Structure 1
Amino acid sequence: MYAIFWLGAFGVLLLIEILTLGLTTIWFAVGALAAFLLTLVHASLAIQMIVFFIVSLVMLIFTRPIMTKYLNKKTTKTNAESLVGRRARVLIPVNNPVNNLKSEGQVMVNGMEWTARSTKDEVTFQKDEMVHIVGISGVKLIVEKENKEDNNL
């Protein structure tokens, strides 16, 4: 009876993992598989449950960082995230003393206007200056002085 339970749990957890692809239940699926194997040698329910929790925890702690490191390399930045690292042209001076309190600095990147702030309050950028996007805070682009190597507008 326990063998059917653990095998069913393994199948459900594996199905959830396949549907989500988020590395959320694979660790517990491996734990359920280990518990299932113990039912084949007639281990007690207590031993099965302990092994399930230990194997799941060990898999989670030791393999998750490795798996996420390799799987996250293949993700492509989308939407606003894709702007980080690009160049932008200043439309309205950024961090100009008049605009700074109102956060009215604007830049254009990919044909779209964005509100922008400098990484440092004392650094200002004037109209038509080129800047480098280093981050996003809410709906504002965070910009800094352009490096000479940046060529991807």
Structure 2
Amino acid sequence: MQMDYYIIWLIIMVICLVVEALTMGLATIWFAAGAFVAMILSLLGVPIGIQIAVFLVVSIACLIYIYPLVKNIIRPGKEKTNYEAVINKIGIVTGTIDNMKAQGQVKVNGQIWSAKAIDNIVIEEGNEVMIQEVIGVKLMVKEIQQGEE
């Protein structure tokens, strides 16, 4: 008795697509593609063993080769956090930076940050500084000399 395996492949494909639609994780869509190819083979009368093998090969190949490409299109790069976004930016000293007195503030990207001078000098309010790194919640800055930018 010939079983209609294409119905099973159709059900597998639909289940995979529904799960993908609910999770949006780019995990089951590849198995839906494999089930689709296996369903076509079933309709062409290819033996079930070959259908299963093709299902696995297509699904795994899609997962390995297509997933990274699609992931980069759908989720390009990661958003920089506040501290990553300020490194190598220019800021304005809003409160004199004096490491000995543990004081200093810099405004960069519209935000006020606590700051320390990387070379241990006093940097007066109003001067421009380059953010070198972030340690904890403090910016480590270097004063920009006139014409240096």
Q: Is residue 57 of structure 2 the alignment partner of residue 54 of structure 1?
A: yes
CA gap of 1:77–1:50, structure 2 versus 1, over 3 A, is: same
CA–CA distance in structure 2, aligned partners of residues 14 and 134 of structure 1: 48
SS at match of 1:42: coil
How far apart are 1:37 and its partner, in Å? Answer: 1.5
Partner residue, 1:12: 15
Equivalent in 46, 64, 68 of residue 65 of structure 1: 68
Equivalent in 73, 82, 85 of residue 83 of structure 1: 85
> What is the TM-score of this pair, normalised by structure 2?
0.57
Q: Is residue 24 of structure 2 the alignment partner of residue 25 of structure 1?
A: no
> What is the TM-score of this pair, normalised by structure 1?
0.56
Partner residue, 2:108: 109
CA gap of 1:87–1:2, structure 2 versus 1, over 3 A, is: farther
Any idea what the Cα deviations from partners look like across 1:35-74, whole Å, max 9, x if unmatched? Answer: 222221233333222211110121122222332333344x
Partners of 1:93 and 1:124 within 8 A in 2: no
Partners of 1:90 and 1:130 within 8 A in 2: yes
Partners of 2:92 and 2:128 within 8 A in 1: yes
Higher relative contact order (CA 8 A, sep 6+): 1
SS at match of 2:46: coil
Gaps of 5+ in 2: none
Partners of 1:90 and 1:125 within 8 A in 2: no
SS at match of 2:70: helix
Aligned residue-pair number? 140
RMSD: 4.3
Please show how residues 29-40 of structure 1 align to structure 2 within 5 Å: 29-40=32-43
How far apart are 1:110 and its partner, in Å? Answer: 4.3
